[in-house]
Amino acid sequence: MSKKITKRMQALLDKVDTQKVYDITTASVSVKSLASAKFDETVEVALKLGVDPRHADQMIRGAVVLPHGTGKKVRVAVFAKGVKADEAKAAGADVVGDDDLAEEIKNGNINFDIVIATPDMMALVGKVGRILGPKGLMPNPKTGTVTADVTKAVNNVKSGQVNFRVDKKGNIHAPVGKASFDAEKIKENVLELVKMINRLKPATAKGKYIRHAAISLTMSPSLELDAQELMDAR
């Protein structure tokens, strides 16, 4: 049985042509017109990549600092001690600690969105990995969240770093702003994300790299993007 389309969704569908393939400039304008919620909806990009994540060399994972941020206030926790802990606090980290932070996590007190750790803290972080991992909070060198340069890491996250990872089916979903953003800022954020993903293309990937691409708001239908235009972004 097909899911019944609500009046609100039908009104949004009437505003745009969902059968059309949009260039990124037009899509960035059109997606803003679909804002209908009482909150500032997130703009999200979905990409279907021509990779097989079952092969380690085709597991796409990384991070990119969007030029205009995501529009979301991010709470950052940092595992560090001594001078590095002081640096993290000075950079604006919301929570900084070592054994005490691990204990808070074990007790279920997880009031942060990103976890950063200095390399010497990873043995301790590993003890709470079963808790952090399923929540997508485990620090990883590929996303710049395992680093001795905690100042840079905290600044990147606070200024709009987006971590992305291909799922088992080859999809990547990433926030690229808010509905309130200017269309040009949405476009520039999308292109920055795509450029990074293009740079991570595995040499062993066969066929078309970006098979399908779409942009949408939290509560809107999606608009198909020109995958070739995105693959050409450098």
Residue pLDDT, tens place only, 26-79: 999 999 999 989 999 999 999 999 999 999 999 999 999 999 999 999 999 999
DSSP E strands in 87-218: the ranges are 95-97, 114-117, 161-165, 171-178, 210-217
Return the DSSP state at 116: E
State the pLDDT at residue 2: 52
Query: What is the pTM (predicted TM-score) of this model?
Result: 0.84
pLDDT digits (tens, 9 = 90+) for 165-214: 999 999 999 999 999 999 999 999 999 999 999 999 999 988 999 999 99
Q: Where in the chain is the domain with CATH 3.40.50.790?
A: 76-158
Q: Where in the chain is the domain with CATH 3.30.190.20?
A: 7-70+161-231
Q: For residue 225, give the 3-state DSSP assignment.
A: strand
Spatial distance between the Cα atoms of 148 and 202, rounded to a whole number of angstroms: 27
Q: What percent of the chain has pLDDT over 90?
A: 88
Structure-token pair, residue 205: 């990937």
Q: Which CATH architecture has domain 76-158?
A: 3-Layer(aba) Sandwich (3.40)
| CATH class of segment(s) 7-70+161-231 | alpha beta
| Integer-rounded Cα radius of gyration of the chain | 19
Rounded to a whole number of angstroms, the distance between the first and last alpha carbons of the chain is: 43
Number of DSSP helices (H) and strands (E) in the chain, helices first: 9, 10
**Nearest in space to 182 (alpha carbons), one of 15, 39, 43:** 43
Composition of the chain by helix, strand, coil, percent to 5: 35, 20, 40
The angle subtended at Cα 135 by Cα 159 and Cα 127, nearest 5°, is 105
